[in-house]
Structure 1
Amino acid sequence: MLLLFRRLSLMISVALAAIASPLAAKPVILSVGDSLTFGLGVPVDKTWPALLENKLKTEGHPGVKVINAGSSGATTAFGLSTLKFHLKRGKPDLIIYALGANDGLRGIDPATTHKNLSAAMDMIQAQGIKVLLLGMKAPPNYGEKFPKDFESSFTKVKDKYKPSFVPFFLEGIAGKPDLNQADGIHPNEKGYEQVLSLIYPKVKELL
């Protein structure tokens, strides 16, 4: 009886290992952001998280899953609850943190933005998860001090927590009509292709 029990236990262990191995081999990327991540105004398959998943699948990660956790209007404060929600459901291999644009648009105190970003990094790194932080710039019509302080809220976090870092999420895209929708804020399909080109080397390096 004991021998039979041991054999059954071994069979169950092997079966579970066979199921778990493929799942463990599939990197999961969580993309936390606002409407720029959600992809407001473009088809779902043209958002940068979808483009990233497709590109990774063709370049050595066929089982990759990129979760689009973007929410229109989200600020760095809202991002913390989004992060908590997803981390309770599972531990991704990489988190791409792309929040701050709405903080800048609303003129939120950069000290608050810095505090929220720091809290997010604490939460992520406490679980040993790799992170790519995407920086943002404030609108140029906000004078000199606010944009400078706003950008420093990202660089201070970068200097302290040492995440992989892209200084400006919309580098080469912002202000270009051919890469943005009519509102001048949200990238169009071509714009999101540029976002992918900007962040892909960092993602590939982290994976």
Structure 2
Amino acid sequence: MRSRNVFLQLVALMALCVASTISAKAEDTIKLVAFGDSLTAGYLLAPEDAFPVQLEKALRARGHDVTIVNAGVSGDTTSGGLSRLDWSVGEDVQGVILELGANDALRGLDPATTRANMDEMVRRLTERGVKVLVAGMLAPRNLGEEYAELYDPIFPEISQKYEALYYPFFLEGVAANPMLNLADGLHPTGEGVAVIVENILPSVEKLIDQIKAERASAE
């Protein structure tokens, strides 16, 4: 009977160790949220071709223990993003890739509103201790030079204000390339998303490095 009790205690101890290992592993995984519009959501693409999925796959291939939540909403403006920010980015999130603003420009919205919304989102995330990578946008040039002069500086200036990471143009290498965009000329194909991922990857790795450094300093 005693040997049986000892055996059961050993089994229980082993189960506890395994559970602890699994729990520790889960805590080690870095959780990012890709927070944006249709460019993030994967408009008209197969789920596996969406930006967050392709980015997570690329990061894992490079040895990063990371999960990326797709918080993209097609058609979203910075106002829409601000209204859903707090519940879209949970307390267990360490970093956010902020990709919003394209629809503001496409609709010709006042750049002052875009600036105020972007500022508030980055401020809230920074105050929560969430690391932010701002993915910049450029205004369509058919809106005129005056609009572009007000719109384009929003993203680098807010990034600098809050010491957030900054990637200059989310659609770098893809915009205006018919081979990498859907028929509407605005949304990337799966191949176009792959180009975006390749270009932004170093910036996302810097975001991960920041998160790891903060974790290490807290230990």
Q: TM-score, normalised by structure 2?
A: 0.83
Q: What is the RMSD computed on CA atoms of the aligned residues? A: 2.0
Q: Which stretch of structure 1 is more off in the superposition, 14-23 or 97-106?
A: 14-23
**Native 8 Å contact 1:69 1:82 kept in 2:** no
Q: For residues 93-129 of structure 1, give each alpha carbon's deviation from its aligned partner in whole angstroms, at most 9, with x where no partner exists.
A: 2100000000000111111111000100111101111
Q: Does 1:139 align with 2:145?
A: no
Correspondence list, 1:25-104, <5 A: 25-62=28-65, 64-87=66-89, 89-104=90-105
Cα separation, 2, equivalents of 1:146 and 1:162: 25
The gaps in structure 1 that reach 5 residues or longer are: 1-12
Aligned-pair identity in percent equals: 38
Correspondence list, 1:99-110, <5 A: 99-110=100-111
Determine helix, strand or coil for the equivalent of 2:123. helix
The gaps in structure 2 that reach 5 residues or longer are: 1-15, 209-219
Q: For residues 49-107 of structure 1, give each alpha carbon's deviation from its aligned partner in whole angstroms, at most 9, with x where no partner exists.
A: 10111112222124x211000001100111112321123x4331210000000000011
Q: For residues 142-188 of structure 1, give each alpha carbon's deviation from its aligned partner in whole angstroms, at most 9, with x where no partner exists.
A: 11100121112212202211211111111121111001110000001
Q: For residues 14-68 of structure 1, give each alpha carbon's deviation from its aligned partner in whole angstroms, at most 9, with x where no partner exists.
A: 7875453111111111010000000101111011110111112222124x21100
- 1:181 — aligned with what? 182
Q: Which stretch of structure 1 is more off in the superposition, 169-178 or 150-159?
A: 150-159
- 1:166 — aligned with what? 167
Q: Which runs of 4+ in 1 moved over 6 A?
A: 13-16
Cα separation, 1, equivalents of 2:60 and 2:108: 39
Cα separation, 2, equivalents of 1:15 and 1:112: 51
**Native 8 Å contact 1:32 1:82 kept in 2:** no
Number of matched residues?
196
Q: Which amino acid aligns with 1:22?
A: K
Larger radius of gyration: 2
Q: Which stretch of structure 1 is more off in the superposition, 153-162 or 104-113?
A: 153-162
